[in-house]
Amino acid sequence: MPIRNRLAEMQPEIAEWRRDLHRHPELLFDTHRTSAFVAEKLRAFGCDEVVEGIGRTGVVGIVEGNGPGRTVGLRADMDALPIHEATGAEHASRTPGAMHACGHDGHTAMLLGAAKYLAETRNFAGRVAVIFQPAEEGGGGGDEMVRDGMMDRFDIDEVYGMHNWPGKPVGSFSIREGAFFAAADQFEIVVEGKGGHAAKPQEAVDTVVVSAHVITAMQTIASRNADPTKQVVVSITGIQTPTMPHNVIPQTLRMVGTVRTLDPDVRDMAERRLSEIAQGIAAGFGAMATVHYERGYPVMVNHETETEHMREAARAVSGGCEDAPLVMGGEDFAYMLEARPGAYILVGNGDTAPVHHPEYDFDDEAIPAGASLWVELAERRLAPS
């Protein structure tokens, strides 16, 4: 069955929900307005149960089918990013320094549309749990909801997620089995040398020079330490000194960055080598490096059977479903996939700016396809026996 006619008819209404959410972005767990908006809609739709405060500010709605059966979870993320919007759109962010630059407003709106349809039709046996999660962008809201007992409390048997993807045709789908999104770790390195006058470098231990060597050598983690058939990314994303005068060699220098991997052994190796390289090079120059390494989201792994279920539903909606590439970005839906079998799929957002860009905007034309996929998947997985 292709895009549901009812959801195509609802597209303008769902798009207006999306644009309202876009005007009022909220960060991390501070999704109070968004969560209240979601809960109000779910109650208005006639959901049988609406629970707020799961994982701090998460919301779960339950739609009962026309008979007993299993429970399928469908998840959308709600939080925005700390970015100044530059779209110039009528529905642009009204909150300085925050915007929906990753399409979570679209994800939330599509799942709300699916929830309304499912509550109207109830053409399934069992239950659908619609999951609205805060703090995907670095806060680990997915982990918080799982640790808050969501899976057991609502008897969720399997769980599914979706993300829009700029550069793919609007409404098209792609998915892959197994490792999909990377583990996302972060680190901080503080190099301490001996400050001094920039005109007398021989009297100092130059932390800038030390750090330049460390940054260059870190790239050998990927090129000389990792198996060439396995992916690893090591990126320095910020460098900071206490002050920025032109004539001072700084006593200390701070670097921050991220490590992305898809294999547990490579993750262990990268963490170990990062410290060894930083500390060894610093010592060679007469400086000292202190390394703080923090593990973040785990690798997001799609389960085999559930990936095929989602692929079949996507084909039913759009006529096809491509194989998705590996993604070195992180995704905290990984925690839900560690707790229950499930899968994660990409839906095309068309020729837009990339996510996390100040000119990005979710394409409302993708709404009917995304919402139809949720309905198709739920009705297939909960078809009466």
Annotated binding site for Mn(2+): 102, 104, 137, 163, 356
Q: Which of 257, 271, 332, 259 is nearest to 297 (CA)?
A: 332
Residue 155 is among the residues annotated as catalytic for this protein: no
* Coil, helix or strand at residue 260: strand
Nearest alpha carbon to residue 173 among 310, 354, 60, 265: 310
Distance in angstroms between the alpha carbons of the first and the last residue of the chain = 19
Which two structure tokens, joined as six digits, stand for 40?
């109000």
Annotated binding site: 102, 104, 137, 163, 356
Options 64, 79, 332, 364, the catalytic residue: 79
18 contacts: CB under 8 Å, gap ≥ 6: 105, 106, 108, 109, 362, 364, 367
Compute the 3-state secondary structure of the chain and give helix, strand, coil in percent, each to the nearest 5: 35, 25, 35
How many alpha carbons lie under 13 Å from residue 135 in its C-beta half-sphere? 21
Tokens 């109650």: give the residue. 43
Residue 174: C-alpha distances to residues 167, 195, 349 (Å): 12, 53, 12
Distance CA 229, CA 68 (A): 47
CA distance 110 to 354: 20
Contact between 145 and 87 (Cβ < 8 Å): no
**Polymer length of the chain:** 385
Pairing type for strands 71-77 and 127-133 reads parallel
Of the residues 136, 157, 206, 306, which is catalytic?
136
Query: CA 141, CA 135: separation in Å to the nearest integer?
Result: 5
Parallel, antiparallel, or unpaired: how do β-strands 342-348 and 158-165 relate?
A: parallel
Angstrom CA distances, 372 to 112, 117, 255, stand at 12, 9, 45
Whole-angstrom distance, CA of residue 94 vs CA of residue 80: 13
Question: Would residue 79 show up in a list of annotated catalytic residues for this protein?
Answer: yes
Q: What positions carry a catalytic annotation?
A: 79, 136
